[in-house]
Chain A
Amino acid sequence: MAAAIKELSNVPNSSQETLWRRVERILPTVTKPGRYVGGELNQVIKAWDSVRTHIALVFPDIYDLGQSNLGLMLLYDILNQREDIAAERAYSPWLDMESALRENDIPLYSLENKRALADFDILGISLPYETLYTNFLNILDLAHLPLRSANRDESHPLIIAGGQSVYNPEPVSPFVDAFVVGEGEEAIVDVVNTHQAWKTAGGSKQELLAALAKIPGVYVPSLYQMDFNADGTIAAVTPESPDLALPIVKRINAKLPPPLTRFLVPNVEVVQERVSVEIMRGCTRGCRFCHAGMVNRPIRERPLDEILTALKTGLDQTGYEEVSLLSLSSSDYSQIIPLINGLRELLQERQVNITLPSLRIESFTEDLMDELQSLTPGGGFTLAPEAGTERMRAIINKPISDEAFMDTVRSVFKHGWKTIKLYFMIGHPQETLEDVAAIAELCKAVLYEGRQIAGGRTRVHAGISTFIPKPHTPFQWVGFDSLESIQQKLDILHQGLHGAKVKMTWNDPEASLLESWLSRGDRRLSEVILKAWQNGARFDAWSDQFNMAHWRAAFTEVGLDPDFYSHRARGLDEILPWDHINAGVKKSFLKTDYQWSLQGKTRPDCRGGCYGCGILSAFNELRLVAPDGGWKCP
C-alpha cells in the first residue's frame, strides 16, 4: 500500500515526491481530478536524468480541451522519438484547482514526471487562438516564473510559443522569448538542437536568443524594436542588428510529415476522443475573411494510402470508436471518392463512426452525396454559405449563386438528410441590412424546400458568427463592425426568423470584439493583456467566464483606445503590426484582392491558374524538393 502511493513518484527525488504528495492531497477537493494526473495510454515517461533536454508542451486551456489537440500531440510524438529529449505536458488548471494550487503554494507541474514547470529547459506554449493569452500568463504565474521575457535569465526555462494566433505575435511578444511562426514539426527540433548546443557551451540568455533568431521561421521579439508615430500607428520595426531577418518568413514543411498514429487515450472524458488524420493542409479557395486559408498555403495533400493506413493503425492503438478527417475543405481533396470508399470498408470492419467536416458547396457532386449518405446515415449536413446574397458572397470571394446553393440543398434533402446546418457571418465589409435580412430569407427557403422533399421533420439550424478582420487576409485593413450595428443585425435575424422554426445560435458580439483587439493588436496591447489578467481575466474563450469589464478597465488603466485596434479602418500604406511576419502571401497580393472586393470582383480557385500570391516565390527551393503532386499549386 505505501508502495502504491509511491508508484507515481518513480524517481526518489525528494522535491518531486514532496510536490506530488502535496498535489495528491488537494486532488480529492477539486472537480474532475482525473484532469491533473496524466497516466494515459501512449504517454511517454522518461527517467528525468536520462535525457539532455526537458521540454514541457503547454496548452493554456483545460485538459478536457487541450488533451485532444492534434498539433500538440504531434509535437509530443516527434520530440519523444528522440532519445535525448523528454517532452511532457501541462494544461490550465480549472478555477478550483488554481485556487488549491495557490493556497498550498504548489507550482504547476507536468503530467508525466510531475515536475514543476520551472524545472524544464523549454516551455512550448500552444497558442492556436487569441483568447488563450490571459491563460498563458496565468500558467507562467502558476509556474512561479517572471511573466516578462526581460525578467527571465538562463536559470529560467526558455519560453517559446507557436500556433495560428502567432502570425501576429506582437500582443504577447514581451512575455515570449521566441516564436515559431508557421509549421512547427521541423522548427521545434531546430529549437531544441540550438538549445542543446547553447547549453553545452554554457552561454548567456542573450546568446541563446541570438542563436534562435537564426533559425528560419523563428522570431525573437526582443531583438526587434517597434517605434510609433504620434497618431499611434507604427513608424518602424527595426532589428537590433542588420543580420537579423526582416521580414521573418513563416516555416513550412516541403512534404507533410507522416500522420500521427500514437494518440494519447485519456482516462477521463474529454471533448474529442477519436483518431484524427489531417488529409490536406491549406486551401485554394481564397475566401477573403479566412485567416486559415491564407496563412496555411500552399495546399498539400497526403496520399490516400497513407491516410487509410494511419486511420487503421490509430484505431488499433487506441480502441477509439470514431475517426475524423481534418482539412479546411474536405470535398476539395482530389481523391475524396476513393477515400470515402476506403472509409466505408473501415466502418464495416471495425464498427466505427466517421466525421468529415468542412465540405464545400462548389465541390459537391451527386456521386459524392451518394457516397456520403452511406457513410454517415442519420447525421446532419453542414453548409457554409457565409452570406445571404450573391452580392455579399462575391465581396467575400465565396461566389455561389442562389440557384446553385438551392440545388445543393435540394440534393441534400433528396439523399435523405433531414437536418441542415447553415453557417453565416455578419459584419462583413460593405454589408447592408438587406444582405443581413437575406440570411433569414435563405434559411426559410431552405426549410421550405426541406419540407417539400423530406417532410415535416426537416430541421434547419443557422449558426451566426461575427466577421473579424484578421491579419494576413485581404480584409486586414477593414474595421470591425460596431457593437450597435452587430446588435441591430442580430435583431433583424431574430425578427426575420421569428416563428419560422429555424433554430438560430450566435456568438456574443463582445467576445468577437475581444478577439478583434487581440488579433489586430501591436506590442503596446501586451500591457492591456497583462492588466486584464491582473484584473481577473482568464478562460476568455469560455462564455461563462469571459468578463468584458476586466478588459475595458485594462484599456483605461493602460491609456489605450480600444477602438483604435478594432473599429478603425487601417490605411493601405500603414505599417501593420504583423507586417514584419511574412505568411508567404505578399501584401501587394492581399491589397489587390481587397481592392477587387470593393469592385465585387472575385478571384477563382487558384488550382485553375496561379495568381502569384507569393507562396511559390517564397518557397521556390522547397517546392523543388517536394515529391510529385504533393503541392497542388498549378
Chain B
Amino acid sequence: MSEQEQITRIRLKYAKGPSLRFTGHLDMQRLWERLLRRSGLPIRYSQGFNPRARLNLASALPLGVISESEMLDFWMDVPLPTETVRKHLAENAPPGLDIQEVTSVSRQEIALQEQMSASEYQITFYDPQPQSELEDKVAALLAADQLPRVRRNKTYDLRPLILDLKVTKADDGEIGLWMRLNAEPGATGRPDEVMEELGFTNTQYLACRTGLILKA
C-alpha cells in the first residue's frame, strides 16, 4: 500500500456546551488544532513554513449558540481503530466539548460544508412565554410570503430559508421553539434572524443546535 493510500479521513460528531458558547468559528478551528495536537494522533499536517492540522468543520455555529450536534472531518497519516481515536480525543478535550461519535469516511467524499442541507435549533427562553401568544406569532411568520432582510448590505428573503418552525412544550411545561433552517452553501438561515422577526433579542433566549442534516 502506498503512503498516499494510507491517509484516513475521520468524521467526528461532537457537542459544544455553554462554556464554549462564545468561542466563534475561527477560534473553534484553533481549539480543534490544539486538541488534535494534544491527542498525539498521527494527524496530517499541511506542508510549508507553518504546518497546520488539516481539518474541516461542517458548518459555522453562530456565536452564543450551543450545540448537541456538530460535525468535523480531519485526516490522519496512519489508520487507527475509531474507538482508539475517540478515546484519545475525549481525554484531551477542553471543558464543554463532548466527543460523541467517530467514524471513518471515504477520502473521495466532497467537503462537509458542501454536503450541508439543513440545521435544526431548539430555543429556550430565559423568561416564561405565554404559549398562545407565541403560537400566534409563529403562525403569522409562517403565513408571510416574503421576509425581506438585510445581511452585510445585501437584501435577501428569510422566508424560504425557514423549512419548519413550531412552539414546543417540554415535560416540565416549559414553552420553547423549534426550527429547521436551510443550511446549503450560500443559503443559510440563522436562528437569531428568525427570532428577531418574532420580536425577540438575543438577550432573551438561549439557542441550541440540535441537528445537522446532510444531503442524502
Interface residues of B in 166-208 (CB under 8 A from A): 170, 172, 174, 176, 202-204, 206, 208
Establish whether residues B17 and A7, one from each chain, have CB atoms under 8 Å apart when the complex forms: yes
**Does A43 interact with chain B (Cβ within 8 Å)?**
yes
CA distance A224 to B49 in the complex (A): 58
CB contacts (< 8 Å) of B40 on chain A: these are 316
Interface residues of B in 14-39 (CB under 8 A from A): 17-24, 26-27, 30-31, 33-38
Stretch of A25-33, A423-431, A590-598 at the chain-chain interface: A25-33
Stretch of A317-325, A367-375, A457-465 at the chain-chain interface: A317-325
Interface residues of B in 133-176 (CB under 8 A from A): 170, 172, 174, 176
CB contacts (< 8 Å) of B36 on chain A: these are 319
Tell me how many residues of B have a C-beta within 8 Å of chain A.
Answer: 42
Q: List 11 A-B contacts (CB under 8 A).
A: A5-B124, A7-B17, A24-B126, A25-B204, A26-B203, A33-B22, A37-B22, A40-B95, A319-B36, A320-B34, A378-B49
CA distance A5 to B51 in the complex (A): 38
CB contacts (< 8 Å) of B126 on chain A: these are 21, 24-25
Establish whether residues B202 and A28, one from each chain, have CB atoms under 8 Å apart when the complex forms: yes
Tell me how many residues of A have a C-beta within 8 Å of chain B.
Answer: 37
CA distance A482 to B33 in the complex (A): 51
Establish whether residues A268 and B22, one from each chain, have CB atoms under 8 Å apart when the complex forms: yes
**Does A128 interact with chain B (Cβ within 8 Å)?**
no
Partner of B122, one of A1, A7, A267, A350: A1
CA distance A39 to B17 in the complex (A): 10
A-B pairs with the 8 shortest C-beta distances?
A: A39-B19, A319-B34, A319-B37, A34-B22, A41-B94, A319-B38, A28-B202, A267-B23
Establish whether residues B206 and A4, one from each chain, have CB atoms under 8 Å apart when the complex forms: yes
Select the residue from A25, A39, A318, A319 with max chain B CB neighbours within 10 A.
Answer: A319
Interface residues of B in 29-68 (CB under 8 A from A): 30-31, 33-38, 40, 45, 49-51, 63-64, 66
**Does A137 interact with chain B (Cβ within 8 Å)?**
no
CA distance A320 to B53 in the complex (A): 12
Given A8-B18, A27-B64; A2-B202 close (CB under 8 Å): no
CA distance A267 to B96 in the complex (A): 11
CA distance A319 to B17 in the complex (A): 21
Given A2-B174, A8-B18, A318-B34; A41-B95 close (CB under 8 Å): yes
CA distance A32 to B27 in the complex (A): 11
**Does A74 interact with chain B (Cβ within 8 Å)?**
no
CA distance A292 to B124 in the complex (A): 53
Supply 13 further A-B pairs (C-beta < 8 A) apart from A26-B203, A29-B203.
A2-B170, A25-B204, A34-B27, A37-B21, A39-B94, A39-B95, A41-B94, A267-B23, A268-B24, A317-B38, A319-B34, A319-B36, A321-B37
CA distance A8 to B66 in the complex (A): 13
CB contacts (< 8 Å) of A29 on chain B: these are 202-203
**How many pairs, one residue from A and one from B, have CB atoms within 8 Å of each other in the complex?**
101
CA distance A37 to B23 in the complex (A): 10
Closest chain A CB from B47 CB (angstroms): 11
Closest chain A CB from B207 CB (angstroms): 10
Q: Write out, one digit per residue, whether chain B residues 73-111 have a CB within 8 A of any chain A CB (1) or not (0).
A: 000000000000000000010111000000000000000
Partner of B18, one of A4, A41, A316: A4
Establish whether residues A40 and B94, one from each chain, have CB atoms under 8 Å apart when the complex forms: yes
**Does A253 interact with chain B (Cβ within 8 Å)?**
no
Closest residue of chain A to B39, judged by CB? A319
Establish whether residues B122 and A265, one from each chain, have CB atoms under 8 Å apart when the complex forms: no
Establish whether residues B64 and A38, one from each chain, have CB atoms under 8 Å apart when the complex forms: no
CA distance A319 to B174 in the complex (A): 41
**Does A186 interact with chain B (Cβ within 8 Å)?**
no
Q: Chain A: residues with CB nearer than 8 A to chain B?
A: 1-2, 4-5, 7-8, 21, 24-29, 32-34, 37-41, 43, 265, 267-269, 315-321, 350-351, 353, 378
CB contacts (< 8 Å) of B96 on chain A: these are 39
Closest chain A CB from B50 CB (angstroms): 7
Given A4-B206, A27-B64, A378-B49; A319-B33 close (CB under 8 Å): yes
CA distance A8 to B206 in the complex (A): 13
CB contacts (< 8 Å) of A317 on chain B: these are 38
Closest residue of chain A to B51, judged by CB? A351
Closest chain A CB from B49 CB (angstroms): 7
CB contacts (< 8 Å) of B204 on chain A: these are 25
Select the residue from B17, B21, B202, B208 with max chain A CB neighbours within 10 A.
Answer: B21
Establish whether residues B172 and A2, one from each chain, have CB atoms under 8 Å apart when the complex forms: yes
CB contacts (< 8 Å) of A350 on chain B: these are 37
CA distance A38 to B19 in the complex (A): 7
CB contacts (< 8 Å) of A7 on chain B: these are 17-19
Closest residue of chain A to B52, judged by CB? A321
Select the residue from A5, A8, A21, A28 with max chain B CB neighbours within 10 A.
Answer: A28
Closest residue of chain B to A7, judged by CB? B18
Partner of A28, one of B33, B34, B38, B203: B203
Closest chain A CB from B68 CB (angstroms): 8
Establish whether residues B202 and A1, one from each chain, have CB atoms under 8 Å apart when the complex forms: no
CB contacts (< 8 Å) of B174 on chain A: these are 2
Closest residue of chain A to B23, judged by CB? A267
CA distance A290 to B96 in the complex (A): 45
Establish whether residues A269 and B27, one from each chain, have CB atoms under 8 Å apart when the complex forms: yes
CA distance A38 to B23 in the complex (A): 11
CB contacts (< 8 Å) of A2 on chain B: these are 124, 170, 172, 174
Closest residue of chain B to A350, judged by CB? B37
Select the residue from A29, A318, A321, A353 with max chain B CB neighbours within 10 A.
Answer: A321
Closest residue of chain A to B206, judged by CB? A5
Closest residue of chain A to B202, judged by CB? A28
Closest chain A CB from B193 CB (angstroms): 14
Select the residue from A8, A267, A321 with max chain B CB neighbours within 10 A.
Answer: A267
CA distance A43 to B19 in the complex (A): 12
Closest chain B CB from A351 CB (angstroms): 5
CB contacts (< 8 Å) of B122 on chain A: these are 1
CB contacts (< 8 Å) of A33 on chain B: these are 22, 63-64
CA distance A216 to B36 in the complex (A): 46
Establish whether residues A25 and B27, one from each chain, have CB atoms under 8 Å apart when the complex forms: no
Closest residue of chain A to B17, judged by CB? A7
Given A25-B126, A33-B22; A1-B208 close (CB under 8 Å): yes
Given A25-B126, A33-B22, A34-B23; A4-B94 close (CB under 8 Å): no
Closest chain B CB from A295 CB (angstroms): 36
CB contacts (< 8 Å) of A38 on chain B: these are 19
Closest chain B CB from A106 CB (angstroms): 13
CA distance A382 to B27 in the complex (A): 31
Establish whether residues B33 and A4, one from each chain, have CB atoms under 8 Å apart when the complex forms: no
CB contacts (< 8 Å) of B202 on chain A: these are 28-29
CA distance A41 to B92 in the complex (A): 9
CA distance A7 to B19 in the complex (A): 9
CA distance A173 to B43 in the complex (A): 53
Establish whether residues B66 and A4, one from each chain, have CB atoms under 8 Å apart when the complex forms: yes
CB contacts (< 8 Å) of A265 on chain B: these are 34, 94
Establish whether residues B17 and A4, one from each chain, have CB atoms under 8 Å apart when the complex forms: yes
CB contacts (< 8 Å) of A353 on chain B: these are 50
CA distance A542 to B18 in the complex (A): 31
Select the residue from B22, B124, B170, B206 with max chain A CB neighbours within 10 A.
Answer: B22
Establish whether residues A43 and B64, one from each chain, have CB atoms under 8 Å apart when the complex forms: no
CB contacts (< 8 Å) of B92 on chain A: these are 319
Interface residues of B in 116-137 (CB under 8 A from A): 122, 124, 126
Given A25-B203, A40-B94; A34-B49 close (CB under 8 Å): no
CB contacts (< 8 Å) of B124 on chain A: these are 1-2, 4-5
Closest chain A CB from B7 CB (angstroms): 18
